[in-house]
Structure 1
Amino acid sequence: MRAGSPRLLREINDRAAIEALLRNGPLTRSELEGIIGLSKPATAQLLTRLETEGTVLRNGLRGGGRGPRAQLWTVNGALAHVAAIDLTPSTVDVAIADISGTLLTEHSAPLPRTDVLEAFHGAVTKAANQAGLSPEALNHVVVGSPGAVDPATGRLNYAPHMPGWEGFDIPGTLADLLDTAVTVENDVNLVALEEMVAGRATGVRDFVLLWPADAVGAAVVVNGSLLRGATGGAGEIDAMQIPDHATADTGTDRTGGRYGDLLDSPAIVRLARAHGVSARTGQAAVRKALAEGTAGREFLVDLARRIATGAANVVSVLDPELVLLSGDIAQAGGTTLVDLVAAELRRLVVPRTPVQLALVTGKPVRSGALHSALSVVREQVFGLPAATTEPFRGPKHA
C-alpha cells in the first residue's frame, strides 16, 4: 500500500491541476501553484510530466509588470471532441467543441418531417467536417430533444410533435448512425443542468425549472440530481389537467384542460387579444403587453394565473427551494411576469417558494448538452468525477 501511495498522490495532483486549467483557462506555473497548493518544484515537475504525456500544452506568454513574461499552460484540447445538439421539430443545431471546452464550430440545419435520420446525420457530418473531424472522431454526442427517452426501450415518449422519431431506440440508432457514443436527454433537463453549472441554480439542491411555452415542460432536481422517473417522464407536465383561472374567457374549458393548451403560442395570442393586446405570437404579445399600460398588465396577470396554476401542483408535491422560469415566454416577460407568477403562486400553495427568472439565455439547451458531453469525456480521459446529473446514455459503440 505504501509503495502505491506516491503514484496515487501524483494522480490526485494531476487531476487537480487539469481541473484547475479546465475551470480557469490558461494559467502560469505560479498561478497553478497557488490554486492546487503544491510547491514550486512540485508544480514544475507536474507540468513537465503532463506535457510529456501530451495532456497539457504551452500556450503563449503572459506579460505585465516589470519582470519577464510567464509561460502559460493549457489542457490539450485535441485529446477528445464532443458534439452538443439541440434537436427540435424543425431544426438541428450543432456545436462541436474540444475537451477543453473551446467551441470549434456551429452549424444549424432545417429538419424535414420525413427522412429525419438522414437530415440529422447530414447536419452532424457537416458540423464535424467544419471542425476538421468526421462524426466517428467525436468521443461523445449529447442530443437535447423534446419529450423523454424511456430508459428501458430507448424510445422517445411524450413527444407527439416530433414526427419521424417514434417507435425506435433513438440513442442506439444514432450511435450506429454516427459510429460513436450518443446520449439523448430531455431538452428542459439540459436547461436545468446549465442553470446548475452557470445560472441561478448554482449551489441549489432542490429546484424546479418550468418552461411555459409551446410543449410546456419542467425539470425536477432533487438533492442535486435530475429526477427522471421510471419511464423518463418526470417533468412532462404538458398534458397535466388544470382549470383555466384567467379572468378573460377565450373559449377554453374553464373546469379543466391540458396545461400545454393554455400556454402554447396560439392560446397566449387569444388571451392577449381578449385584453386588447394584438400580436402574432405569444412571445410578441408578452413583449407588447409590457408597454401597453393597464390592458397589458391585465393580460400578464391572467397569463401568470395560468402559469401559476400548473406550477402550484408541482410545488405542492415537491416543496422545492426555488422555481425557475425559462424559455422565450419567460424571458420576454422578464421580472414583471416572474413577480406576477410568484404572487399568484402564493395564493394557491402553502410553501412560499421563491420564483426567479432563469439566468442562462441564448441557446440554453445546447449549452447544457455541451456541459453534459464534456462531463462524460473528462471522466473518460482524465478520471474527473462526472456530473451527478449525467443523462441516460445509449449503448456505447464498440
Structure 2
Amino acid sequence: MEQRGGSPQLLRRINDRAALLALLDRGPLTRLELESHIGLSKPATADLLLRLEESGHVRRAGLREGGKGPRAQRWAVNGALAYVAAVDLTPRTLDIAVSDICGEIVAEHRYRPVDEADLEVDDLCRAVSVAAAEVGLTTGQLHRVVVGVPGSVDARTGHLHFAPHLPPWQGFDVLERLSGSLDTSVAVENDVNLVALDEMAVGQAVGVDDFVLIWMGRGIGAAVVSGGRLLRGSSGGAGEIDWMPCPSTGVTGGRRIGDVLGTRAVMELAHAHGLPGDDLEKLLAEDLGTDPVARSAFLRDLARRVALAVAGVVSVVDPALVVLTGDIGRAGGSVLCGLVTEELAELVLPRPKIQPSLLTGNPVRSGALRLALAAAREEVFTVIPTP
C-alpha cells in the first residue's frame, strides 16, 4: 500500500484503513503477517501499529503460539472502539442485538407487549435502551442503529409507506423521531432488503451481482440487487410485490400477489387439496404420510402462484438468480424451487437459477447488523487521529 505522491496524511489514512480491514477479515495477526497482507515495509508496519495502538484502534491480542524462535505479538481491532445496534421490528415483536465494531454480539433483547398491543416508537426506544444497558451503554453511545421494518421509508419525507400493518408508525418522519429519541444516528431499512444483504454475505447470493430475493411468509416482498447494489426506487418501494396485481389463479378474491401467497391463502390451498393440519412449514417440508398425489398437486398449484410473482420481477430485471425465502420459501426447499423453475419457463423468457435460502437465525436482524457495522466502520476507520 506504500505509494509515491499525494498527501502523507492521506496515504497514512489509506494504509491505516487497509490494516484495520485486514485485521477484521483475518482476525489477530502478527506484525509480519499484517505486513504481508497490506504490502508495507517492516518499519512502516511497525509505525502503523504503534500509531493505531496509541489512538485506541488496535490492541495487543496475546502471543503467537508454536513455531521456532520467540513468540510474536499479535494485534487485533479494538472491539470497544464503537458499538452498534440492529433491530428487527414487526407489528408486535422486537428482536435487538448490540455488537462491537468487530461484529461480536455483546447483548440481545427480545420484547413483546403483554397485551399484544401494536408497538410504537417509544417501545422500540425503551427496548434498545435495555439492550444497550446490558453492556453499560446509553443509546447515545451507540454509533449507529439500523431498524428493519416490514415497509419502506421514503427518503424524501422520512414517512413509512407500504405498511398499513404498522398504524402507530404512520404520518411522521420516522428517521427524525428515532434519531431524536435515541440520540444517535439511525437508519430504517426494508426488512426484505436486509435479508438480501445477508444473502449476499453468507448465503446463496455470495458473488452474485444480479439476483432477486422473494420473501414469502410473514408478509410478501422482494428485494432486487443489480450490479451488486440494492434497488430501492425513488420512494423506497422497489420490491413491494405484495401489492402487485395478480392474474387469474382460480382463487376467489385473489386480486394481488399478497392475496394468493400469504400464509393464510397457502394454508387454504393445502386444505383444498385435502392436506390436514395447521403447521404450514411441515406440510411444505415433509410428506407426513399424506396422499402423495394430493401433496404433489398442492405443491404444483403453489409453484404456479410463486412463478406468477417471480415472473413480474424477472421479466424486467433479468437476474442470474432467484432466492426463495421466508417461512414458505425455506420450507418448500429445493422441491418447490424445481417446480417454480418449470412453471416460470412457461411465463417469461429469462431463465434464472431458482434456489432456496440457506440462511438461519434472524436474517433481518443479521442484515441490519451488517448495515450498521458497515456505516460505523466507514466513519471510525476513515478518521484516525495522528498522535
Note if 1:320 corresponds to 2:324: no
Unaligned stretches of 5+ residues in structure 2? none
Task: Please state how far the C-alpha of 1:244 moved relative to its aligned partner.
Answer: 4.7
- SS of the residue 1:348 aligns to: coil
User: Partner residue of 1:7?
Assistant: 9
User: Partner residue of 1:344?
Assistant: 343
Asked if the contact 1:214/1:263 (under 8 Å) is kept, the reply is: no
Asked if the contact 1:244/1:262 (under 8 Å) is kept, the reply is: no
Structure 2 residue corresponding to 1:173, chosen from 173, 177, 183: 177
Structure 2 residue corresponding to 1:97, chosen from 92, 96, 99: 99
Q: Deviations over 1:57-113 (max 9, x none)?
A: 011223123444332211111121100000011111100011111111111101553
Structure 2 residue corresponding to 1:158, chosen from 141, 162, 169: 162
Inter-partner Cα distance in structure 2 for 1:304 and 1:3: 59
- SS of the residue 2:219 aligns to: coil
Task: Please state how far the C-alpha of 1:322 moved relative to its aligned partner.
Answer: 1.4
Inter-partner Cα distance in structure 2 for 1:291 and 1:128: 48
Asked if the contact 2:285/2:333 (under 8 Å) is kept, the reply is: no
Task: Please state how far the C-alpha of 1:323 moved relative to its aligned partner.
Answer: 1.0
Inter-partner Cα distance in structure 2 for 1:252 and 1:35: 62
Q: Which amino acid aligns with 1:252?
A: T
Asked if the contact 1:58/1:74 (under 8 Å) is kept, the reply is: yes
- Pick closer, same or farther for the CA change 1:310–1:51 going to 2, 3 Å: same
Note if 1:204 corresponds to 2:208: yes
Inter-partner Cα distance in structure 2 for 1:305 and 1:290: 23
User: Partner residue of 2:51?
Assistant: 49
Inter-partner Cα distance in structure 1 for 2:118 and 2:48: 53
User: Partner residue of 1:142?
Assistant: 146
Unaligned stretches of 5+ residues in structure 1? 385-398
Inter-partner Cα distance in structure 1 for 2:288 and 2:141: 48
User: Partner residue of 2:259?
Assistant: 261
- What aligned pairs does 1:157-306 form with structure 2 within 5 A after superposition? 157-245=161-249, 251-253=251-253, 257-289=255-287, 292=290, 293-306=292-305
Asked if the contact 2:93/2:119 (under 8 Å) is kept, the reply is: no
Task: Please state how far the C-alpha of 1:118 moved relative to its aligned partner.
Answer: 2.3
**226-235 vs 182-191, which moves further:** 226-235
Task: Please state how far the C-alpha of 1:44 moved relative to its aligned partner.
Answer: 2.0
TM-score by length of 2: 0.92
Q: Deviations over 1:201-245 (max 9, x none)?
A: 222222111102232000111222111112111100101111354
- Pick closer, same or farther for the CA change 1:351–1:49 going to 2, 3 Å: same
Inter-partner Cα distance in structure 2 for 1:367 and 1:283: 22
Inter-partner Cα distance in structure 2 for 1:73 and 1:65: 18
- SS of the residue 1:377 aligns to: helix
User: Partner residue of 1:30?
Assistant: 32
- SS of the residue 2:53 aligns to: helix
- SS of the residue 2:49 aligns to: helix
Q: Deviations over 1:148-194 (max 9, x none)?
A: 00112111111111231111111111111111111000000111111
Q: Which amino acid aligns with 1:118?
A: D
Aligned length: 378
TM-score by length of 1: 0.90
- SS of the residue 2:217 aligns to: coil
Structure 2 residue corresponding to 1:69, chosen from 71, 92, 95: 71
Q: Which amino acid aligns with 2:263?
A: S
Note if 1:87 corresponds to 2:86: no
Task: Please state how far the C-alpha of 1:46 moved relative to its aligned partner.
Answer: 1.6
Q: Which amino acid aligns with 2:285?
A: R
Asked if the contact 1:244/1:252 (under 8 Å) is kept, the reply is: no
